[in-house]
Amino acid sequence: MSGWRFLISRQWAGYLALTIVFAVVCSGLGMWQLARRAEAQAEISRIDANFDAEPVPVADALPNLDSFVESQKWLPVELTGTYLIDEELLVRNRTYNINPGFEVLTPLLLDSGEVFIVDRGWVPTGEDQDSPDSVPAAPEGQVTVVARLKQGEPVLAGRSASGNQVATINLPDIAERLGADTYTGAYGLMKSEDPATEDRPMAVQRPARDEGPHLSYAFQWFVFALMAFVGLGWAARQEFRSINAEVPEEQVRAAERARRQAAKPRSDAEIEDELIDQHS
């Protein structure tokens, strides 16, 4: 089968199909990386817009107990009430600079009668037990808190806890546990409280404005998709030369390629390989 007619064979149709599938998969992974980048950019926009914003009353930001939209993440809200210190909870398996520990959740009974969950910060795991050695006490009496909003967490299969510890910040479960009208759309990462205590759990740090390497990864996947077709074309060209080796026109082209190859200056590695072959 001379010429390019071999391309219409079943074998080469299979090669083309495999190349297309590979390119589609690579393109899909590239689009996924672009979507991840868009999510990271949206998070950076929320940080820029909300993290250092002036606090607003919680009732204005969250008119209903289950209110919350993603654009409100990190938005500071102001709350006034009394901490339910006896109902304080510890969230297990939280790290801070790779150190294991807990987040301290202290329910705040608002003057309006609802309960808002305040994450007062992070404390390390104890030296000799699976709990903190100590937890800085929340202030007693009326307190004004500024906290940054964050959406609650889902239940994680296989995670469990007992006593005053919880596996995740699942607000509906916490509301059921408290037996009170509790905000279930969002909780708050404490920024400040007034009056302030002498000691408090480690405060949340400002998130990094980093969109990650998603754009470069996406570019790599798209290049892989393109290279698949380049590789298929190269393989087809090599097959053409092999099948048509006896065709006079192809013999002329082969001789010209050999002449150009011989005229190319040899690299040091090629010279070394030739010397080794001569003495072996």
Task: Please give the backbone phi and psi of residue 36, each rounded to the nearest 5 degrees, phi first.
Answer: -60, -40
- What integer is the mean pLDDT of 139-161? 88
Split at pLDDT 50, 70, 90, the class of 8 is confident
Split at pLDDT 50, 70, 90, the class of 129 is confident
- For the chain, what is the mean pLDDT? 87
pLDDT tens digits for 78-118?
999 999 999 999 998 888 888 899 999 999 999 989 999 99
Residue 182 has pLDDT above 70, yes or no: yes
Residue 264 has pLDDT above 70, yes or no: no
pLDDT score for 198: 85
pLDDT score for 117: 97
How many other C-beta atoms can be found within 10 angstroms of the C-beta atom of residue 183? Answer: 27
User: What's the Cα-to-Cα distance from 232 to each of 10, 104, 254, rounded to whole Å?
Assistant: 15, 58, 21
- What integer is the mean pLDDT of 225-235? 93
115: left (phi over 0), alpha (psi -120 to 50) or beta: beta
Q: Are 113 and 181 in contact (CB under 8 A)?
A: yes
Output the six-digit token pair for 130: 């699976």
- What residues contact residue 254 under an 8 Å CB cut-off, 6+ apart? 241, 245
Residue 278 has pLDDT above 80, yes or no: no
- Domain spans, the chain: 1-51+209-254, 53-194
pLDDT score for 184: 95
